[in-house]
């Protein structure tokens, strides 16, 4: 029942306000009319109407309404009406609204002013002969009651607003975190696809070009390169299918995944580029140490991308790979000697260097890339042994 009435009140706020003001006017007019004689009853109703007519402005001007209602109460009380709860009802309503919308200092000042103005009037007309202490306590009670209730309502509203603000902030944080995770996942997927597609396509392009060059003069060697080209394209399709398959599967078990590539497949990588006409030398300094899975994958992808860039952008036939192991770090350098007539770059550039730098940073290391003083280009990555 109460919930239904509350919903109806929320749907028709103006009607509720009118009914409330009529009830206040009916309760106070009975006390206000005592200011006149039996033949002059109308002044009480007029004063009650004027005082209640000021109450609708209590939300915009609470201090002014408190002053007007207090003035009306004093005016009626000075004519001999007992200052009781019905006579103080407009003051109580206005003081409650003042507590909700003003600071504690303003409320305290208005309460003191009301007490100082109404106390003499209340003590002057004590028709029942009650002790003055009772009059003072009664007046203080009816003044403090709306203040205490208004303070409780204001605290409750502030608490609910704070809870709502925290909930909205937490929701925004969750949304931002979700967007950030989606962005990181998109970057990771784009990096994996770039490594797979760019490497194999560049390698296939180099193998096809070499086979076409050797087709007339060395058909047997061209046939062997074409056989390697088939292996390269098959490997590209397999890795691309595996990468796209991870996006399609919502719950992929670890047993269904193949091991991630690492430096143990470096020999196969060198052989694939050798079939494409790029001869590689590999030097290893320091005792070889087992790498963590993340570092091993990062090292392989950096070497793979660096060699892909050599095959795509450098008109050279040799390149050098150097692995330097220390106690807690692996340094990888992929370099070429350059050529005075480099191949033209593809339009729009690429994301190879960006992807390698992101991979190195994600593994806790860093990467440098640039031209060498003696000629050529070099990519150097320093990765921690254990991430």
pLDDT at 333 > cutoff 90: yes
Residue reference for tokens 């078990």: 253
Of 358, 352, 297, which Cα lies nearest the Cα of 330? 297
Of 82, 24, 91, 23, which Cα lies nearest the Cα of 63? 91
Residue 225, C-beta contacts closer than 8 angstroms, at least 6 positions apart? 207, 210, 211, 214, 275, 276
The pLDDT assigned to 7 comes to: 74
Q: Which is more confident, 2 or 143?
A: 143
The pLDDT assigned to 63 comes to: 86
Where are any strands of DSSP class E within the chain?
Answer: 279-285, 318-325, 329-336, 366-371, 377-384
Residue 370: phi and psi, rounded to 5, are 175, 175
The pLDDT assigned to 130 comes to: 59
The pLDDT assigned to 346 comes to: 46
The mean pLDDT value for 135-158 works out to 88
Q: Percent of the chain scored above 90 by pLDDT?
A: 11
CB 117 within 8 Å of CB 75: no
Of 56, 55, 52, which Cα lies nearest the Cα of 31? 52
pLDDT at 314 > cutoff 70: no
The pLDDT assigned to 39 comes to: 45
The pLDDT assigned to 380 comes to: 93
pLDDT band at residue 139, thresholds of 50, 70 and 90?
confident
Residue reference for tokens 């990181």: 184
The pLDDT assigned to 252 comes to: 46
Two structure tokens written together for 323: 């692995």
Could you tell me how far CA 66 lies from the centroid of its own chain? 45
pLDDT at 348 > cutoff 70: no
pLDDT band at residue 320, thresholds of 50, 70 and 90?
very high
The mean pLDDT value for 297-318 works out to 82
The pLDDT assigned to 43 comes to: 64
The pLDDT assigned to 37 comes to: 46
44-98 pLDDT tens trace: 677 777 888 888 888 888 889 898 888 888 877 666 666 778 888 888 999 999 9
The mean pLDDT value for 155-166 works out to 91
Residue 169, C-beta contacts closer than 8 angstroms, at least 6 positions apart? none
Distance CA 356, CA 179 (A): 24
Of 182, 64, 86, 82, which Cα lies nearest the Cα of 122? 82
- The domains located in the chain, with CATH, are 2-129 (no CATH), 176-384 (3.30.565.10)
166-208 pLDDT tens trace: 988 888 888 888 888 888 877 777 777 776 676 677 777 777 8
CB 303 within 8 Å of CB 282: no
The pLDDT assigned to 334 comes to: 92
Residue 308, C-beta contacts closer than 8 angstroms, at least 6 positions apart? 198, 199, 202, 203, 352
The mean pLDDT value for 211-220 works out to 78
The pLDDT assigned to 181 comes to: 85
The whole-model pTM stands at: 0.47
The pLDDT assigned to 246 comes to: 59
pLDDT band at residue 254, thresholds of 50, 70 and 90?
very low
pLDDT at 3 > cutoff 80: no
The pLDDT assigned to 255 comes to: 43
pLDDT at 256 > cutoff 50: no
């Amino acid at each position: 029942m109460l919930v239904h009435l509350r919903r109806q009140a929320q749907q028709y706020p103006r009607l509720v306000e009118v009914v409330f003001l009529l009830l206040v006017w009916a309760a106070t007019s009975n006390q206000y009319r005592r200011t006149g004689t039996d033949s002059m009853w109308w002044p009480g109703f007029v004063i009650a109407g004027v005082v209640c007519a000021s109450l609708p402005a209590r939300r915009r001007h609470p201090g002014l309404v408190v002053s007007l209602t207090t003035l009306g109460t004093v005016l009626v009380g000075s004519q001999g009406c007992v200052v009781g709860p019905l006579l103080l009802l407009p003051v109580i309503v206005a003081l409650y609204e003042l507590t909700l919308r003003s600071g504690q200092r303003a409320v305290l000042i208005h309460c003191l002013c009301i007490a100082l103005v109404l106390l003499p009037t209340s003590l002057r007309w004590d028709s029942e002969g009650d002790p003055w202490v009772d009059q003072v306590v009664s007046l203080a009670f009816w003044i403090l009651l709306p203040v205490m209730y208004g303070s409780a309502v204001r605290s409750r509203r502030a608490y609910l607003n704070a809870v709502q603000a925290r909930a909205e902030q937490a929701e925004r944080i969750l949304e931002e975190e979700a967007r950030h995770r989606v962005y990181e996942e998109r970057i990771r997927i784009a990096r994996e696809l770039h490594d797979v597609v760019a490497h194999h396509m560049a390698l296939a392009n180099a193998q096809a070009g070499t086979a076409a060059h050797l087709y007339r003069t060395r058909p047997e060697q061209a046939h062997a390169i074409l056989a390697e080209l088939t292996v390269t394209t098959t490997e590209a399709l397999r890795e691309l299918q595996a990468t796209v398959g991870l996006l399609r599967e919502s719950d992929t078990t670890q047993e269904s995944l193949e091991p991630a590539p690492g430096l143990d497949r470096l020999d196969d990588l060198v052989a694939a580029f050798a079939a494409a006409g790029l001869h590689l030398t590999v030097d290893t300094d320091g005792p070889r140490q087992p790498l963590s899975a993340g570092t091993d994958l990062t090292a392989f992808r950096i070497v793979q991308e660096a060699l892909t860039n050599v095959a795509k952008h450098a008109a050279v036939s040799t390149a050098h790979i150097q692995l330097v192991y220390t106690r807690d770090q692996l340094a990888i350098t992929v370099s070429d000697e350059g050529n005075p007539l480099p191949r033209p770059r593809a339009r729009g550039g690429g994301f190879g260097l960006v992807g390698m730098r992101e991979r190195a940073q994600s593994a806790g290391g860093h990467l440098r890339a640039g031209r060498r003083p003696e000629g050529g280009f070099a990519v150097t990555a320093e990765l921690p042994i254990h991430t």
